[in-house]
Every structure is written in structure tokens, then in C-alpha cells.
Amino acid sequence: MAITRAFKNATNFQERTTATPLIINGDMQFAQRGTSFTVGTANPYVTDRWLCVGDGASVFTVTQDTDVPTGQGFSKSLKWDTTTAESSLASGTAVLFMQRIEGQNLQMFKKGTSNAEAFTVSFWVKSAKTGVHILQMRDNNNSRQQSQSYTVASANTWEKHVVSFVADTTGAFDNDNGASLDLMWWLSAGSNFTSGTLATSWEAVDNTNRAVGQVNVADNTANNWYITGIQMEVGTFDANSIPAFQHEDVATSLVRCQRYYQTIGNDTEAGQRHVATGKVRSSTKCDFGLVLPFEMRSSPTISVSDGTGFEVFHGGSTVTNTTSLSYSNSSPQTVSGLFDVSSGLTAGDAAFIRTDSTAGRELQMDSEL
């Protein structure tokens, strides 16, 4: 039986078909990795679950921001600020903002069946660059795509956009934890992605049809692009009938983000923090392990912000600084690894790993799609 949450807006009564938002961190509340990144020289996640992709000569500074639409309950947005312009786009230029969604979270769309449902995406945008922008869906399981346009009418003004995508009776989403659907906002697109006809119905992937008509947000360093309040609903809605944005409580939203990325340590705060327990293997190596606070999507990749930024506390009161993380292993529930030191450990000693007293020392676990 489907769980529904009912609401009433100014004009009519609607029922939402999912009690949990399909989009994670749609209000840009969480940014575990940091609040400012450069896109163009790298393709980072900034706010949790949101991937920024730059493939061209343009460069953007992408930040978590406090500029939000008034009276909508939002406190954060994501801002793209053009810092290096590309006024004449190379053919392969593609600048994208996207979230990848697990197939098992999309089964209610009944894609690939005769009962397939439409998709509707709603979001708030503010940009100095007016004109036609493109929002694209890509079905990774069946190599299919659909794109729809929306128009930024007023420069530097928050606007709410509601974009519907028709249902697809061809190709079911895999019912697993893989990346079945990419939801992508284009900021600029070269001729490789604009020389065809916009794919306003589902079709086999054809790059030339992906972003036809997209304006170039990268053509001037005065340009910027903000977004927040992203939601996706089952069915077709317009501006009057779209359900209200679901504001999750902070604890629930953070746990949903931590399914894909977690850190343990002292990311922004100076001071020593216990990271894991361990046992000394030799004079230069210490094993460690820990149970993760929240189960992750899959076995995460483990990394450290600075291999020299941790301490092995051993032999009752002795502290030895690490030199690197030389080995790691993981499951969705646990992680383990091996820290190296230059010398001074005693095999068999119990130990625990802690950060040193400098801010920014973290053990990072990543299981993004």
C-alpha cells in the first residue's frame, strides 16, 4: 500500500505519492565536504549529493550561499559564480549541475510498463543570465533521455519553475542501489550538445539533442546562477497544483546524505578527536577499525584529508604521528585500515587513532553513485 501525504494549496487538493522526498538535500542544507569549490579544473560535490561538472574553458566558483527566495522556508542555496568566462563555446563544452538517483528509489514511476508515470521537477532559480535553460533526465539503465526547457524571465530575481517530463513505457529502472537516473541542469553547452532537436520525449541517448537552446551562463564574469528548493514528484503538475516542498527535519536529512558520504574527525574545529580504535602491528604500522554511525549505500572508498594529520595513542600515554594511510578496507557498515608512522610503535599494543590539534583532519568515507 502506498504511503501518501495530503496537503492543500490555494486552489486545489492534491496527494503526494511518497512520504519521503525523492530528491536528497534539495534545500542545499548540508555541505559536509566544504562550502566553496572551483568547477572547471575539477568536478566536485559541493552541497551533499549535488555534483558539479565543468568540461570547457570556463571556470566557476560554486558555493553554499544564504541568498534564498523570501518566505519559502529555505536558508541555503547553491551559487555558481562565473570567474573565467568562455564567450565562444568549444564544441564539447558541457557545464552541468546534477543528482544521481538509485533505481530502487524510483520504482513508483513504473517506468517501462504500460502504467508508467510522468515526472515533475520543481525548483527555485535566480540568475543574471535570462533566457532558455535546459533540464535533462538520463536513464542510465536503458540509455534513454528526455530534456525540457524553462525560461529565466527576470535577471537576478528568484523564480519558481515547474517542469514536467512525460512517462516512458520503454525500459524499466533497475531495482537496486545503482545510478539509474541522472537529473541534470545545464549551464552551458557546446555544439556537440545543441546541434540537433531537443529531446522533449523519451528517446535513445543522442548527445546532439540534449541541450538545444541552452543559454551560456559562462559568457561573462558578471553571470551567476543560484538554485534551491528542488523536488521531484510522481505525475504531472503545474505551478498551481505542485505539492509544497517537503522540509525534512535536520537529523533525517543528514542521515540520508550520510548514506553516500560520511566524515569522522574535526573538519572545521581545531582539537583532538577520537577517530578509531586499533592494534599496533609493527614498529611502523597500526591497524584500525570502526563501525560506521550509519550504513552506507555500498562499501565506501576511504581517504584522509591529510595522512600526517593523525596520531596513534599507544603504550598507555605515548603519542606518535602518522605519515600516511597505506591500506583500507570497508563494507557498508564498517571500515578498517592501516596507518603508517616513521618509528616508535610496539607490536601488540592497543591503540586508538585521533586527529591532531589542527582543524581539517578527517577520515572520509565516500559511496556516491
- Alpha carbon distance 8, 10 (integer Å): 7
Percentage of residues of the chain with pLDDT beyond 90:
91
pLDDT category of residue 2 using cuts at 50, 70 and 90: very low
For residue 108, give the C-alpha cell.
513508483
Higher pLDDT, 98 or 3: 98
The C-alpha angle 10, 13, 19, rounded to 5 degrees, equals 110
A 10 A CB-CB count for 177 gives 17
Cβ–Cβ under 8 Å, residues 167 and 116? yes
- Alpha carbon distance 105, 234 (integer Å): 12
Mean confidence (pLDDT) of the chain: 94
Count Cα neighbours of 288 within 13 Å in the Cβ-side half-sphere.
28
A 10 A CB-CB count for 83 gives 15
Give the pLDDT of residue 14: 55
* Structural domain boundaries in the chain: 5-258, 263-366
pLDDT category of residue 3 using cuts at 50, 70 and 90: very low
Residues 6+ apart with CB under 8 A from 165: 118, 119, 120, 121, 137, 146, 148
Per residue in 138-166, pLDDT (tens digit) is 999 999 999 999 999 999 999 999 999 99
Q: Which of 92-101, 226-235, 303-312 is predicted with the least confidence, judged by mean pLDDT?
A: 303-312
Give the pLDDT of residue 242: 98
CATH topology of domain 5-258: Jelly Rolls (2.60.120)
DSSP assignment of 140-179: TTTTEEEEEEEEE-STT--EEEEEEE----S-PPPSSSSE
DSSP assignment of 250-279: HHHHHHHHHTTEEEEEESSS-S--EEEEEE
Torsional class of 323: left (φ above 0), alpha (ψ -120 to 50), beta (otherwise):
alpha
- Alpha carbon distance 291, 54 (integer Å): 36
Per residue in 8-40, pLDDT (tens digit) is 333 334 566 678 999 999 999 999 999 999 999
- Alpha carbon distance 161, 132 (integer Å): 12
Buried-exposed string 129-155: b where 16+ CB fall within 10 A, e elsewhere: beeebbbbbbbbbbebbbbbbbebeee
Express the helix, strand and coil content of the chain in percent, nearest 5 each.
5, 45, 50
Cβ–Cβ under 8 Å, residues 209 and 201? no
Residues 6+ apart with CB under 8 A from 61: 36, 37, 38, 39, 80, 81, 83
A 10 A CB-CB count for 348 gives 9
For residue 165, give the C-alpha cell.
517530463
Residues 6+ apart with CB under 8 A from 368: 45, 49, 51, 100, 260, 261, 297
pLDDT category of residue 317 using cuts at 50, 70 and 90: confident
The three-state secondary structure class of 109 is helix
Give the pLDDT of residue 17: 64
